[in-house]
Structure 1
Amino acid sequence: MTDQHRCVTLVPLFNHLPDTDQARVNQLVSHQTVNKGEQILAPDSDPRLVIVARGSMKVYQLSASGREQLLRVVEPGGYEGENVLFGARNENLFSEALQQTEVCVLRQDDFQALLLKYPQISLKLLEINANKMMGVEQQAQFLSMARVEERLASYLLDLAKASGSSRVQIPMKMRELATHLGTTPETLSRKLKQFADAQWIERDHQTIILRDETALEEI
């Protein structure tokens, strides 16, 4: 299977289709390589669905004061932009490559034609968007916790639950994780050190091993 077919086979929105239909979908997408720090989506972008094939991109919005608020990190198989394709206005949503990232782009007209041709994609889209909304609710829950250590412990436990392992990989830089948790990089670094000193976790850069999940749950 070629790299040109990679986006369609990765994304759950399309990979349930038969191979012949996946190939037809693939003919509609354009493939792009985006360098680290380059913007992929912005309020003035043309309506389009962006699928990540390799690398990752962050999705964020700006507060009234211009402060960046991270919403999620999109990794291979994930996508962004579907709401705008349905007519919603993008007034404050941006995405940016976190590293050199390969994406597949599907234009609005082609996407809407696919929904008419393959109704099962609409059902899959509803399912995946429900999971996205859960992520947004989780973000709101993080920010409602008074203490940073509560947010950090909850985040690490959720990562472990999602991966099925006590060894987790932080999918973003510490600066971006700090933004996600509503704190500063300095405070986040201090809290991670406190967790490590208490032997609740063991940290090696972006890799964290949860040594005492009970202690983290009690936080």
Structure 2
Amino acid sequence: MADNCVSRVPVFASLSGQDQLRVEALAHPVRLKAGERAYGADDELSKLMVLHTGHLKVFRLSADGSEQLIRVLGPGDFAGETSVFTGQRPDDYATALDDCRLCVFRQEDLEGLIRKHPEIGLRLLAGVSARLTETEHRLSSLTSRDVERRLADYLLGLPGDWEDGGVASVTLPLAKKDVASLLDTTPESLSRALGSLAARGLVAIGAGRAVSITQPARLQQLVDEV
């Protein structure tokens, strides 16, 4: 049981080992390769998907068919909760960014689990609330900040390795076109903003997706400017 989504993810972390085994018996394992779809807006989906390994990108399609990235899910995150709780079809899509392993729960099984273990429902609610807070922050950033400041805020929010002298090395978790979509801009505008931050000495652009935050205090000042 040491290597399954039931024992590893926060939603089920408070359960006893015996209860985790019971939950594991209800989970349907799913494997996806990079680029494969987990679900779409035209699916009859009433399932909760808990991500064990890998990453999923969740997005909507605009009227012209372009993707608008909503979020990226990593190990321990879940998707499909809206359709499970409301009974409505999803209005978004999810595809695998890399090879993924998921545990999928049918609606009726999940409802039974929550009745027996209310703490699971509370943890799901906490996760949804955290997403709402993140979404509100992003909306505020999109309406009140230019691309440079949005990018600065995004970089400061990434996990990084702090070095001597206050330098942080971060890695963009997505391709630049996806980061641009997340920040509601174009890849060209994102590249210009990143180049501008580098020209001002606030960051240094490394190989691939690597970025060094060389002046974190000044970058935060840029984010906080009114």
Shared fold per TM-score greater than 0.5: yes
Deviation at 1:138, TM superposition (A): 2.1
The answer to whether 1:196 aligns with 2:198 is yes
Q: Is the 8 A contact 1:58 1:73 kept in 2?
A: yes
- One-letter amino acid matched to 1:167: S
d(CA) in 1 for partners of 2:139, 2:179 = 15
The answer to whether 1:32 aligns with 2:36 is no
The answer to whether 1:217 aligns with 2:220 is yes
Q: Classify the secondary structure of the residue corresponding to 1:86.
A: helix
Give the superposed CA RMSD.
1.8
- One-letter amino acid matched to 2:15: L
Q: Is the 8 A contact 2:50 2:104 kept in 1?
A: yes
Q: Which residue of 2 aligns with 1:107?
A: 106
Q: Classify the secondary structure of the residue corresponding to 1:171.
A: coil
Q: Which residue of 2 aligns with 1:184?
A: 186
Q: Over residues 146-195 of structure 1, what are the superposed CA-to-partner deviations in whole Å (9 max), with x where a residue is unaligned? A: 411011011112225xx685332322221110000011112212221222
Q: Is the 8 A contact 1:71 1:139 kept in 2?
A: no
d(CA) in 1 for partners of 2:221, 2:158 = 17
Q: How many residues align?
A: 215
Counterpart selection for 1:207 from 207, 210, 214: 210
Instruction: Report the TM-score when normalising by structure 1.
Output: 0.90
Q: After superposition, where does 1:98-177 map in structure 2 within 5 Å?
A: 98-159=97-158, 165=162, 166-177=168-179
Counterpart selection for 2:17 from 6, 16, 19: 19
Instruction: Report the TM-score when normalising by structure 2.
Output: 0.87
- For residues 171 and 45 of structure 1, do their structure 2 counterparts lie closer, same or farther at Cα, with a shift above 3 Å needed? farther
Q: Which of structure 1's runs of 4+ aligned residues deviate more than 3 A? A: none
- One-letter amino acid matched to 1:54: T
Deviation at 1:136, TM superposition (A): 1.3
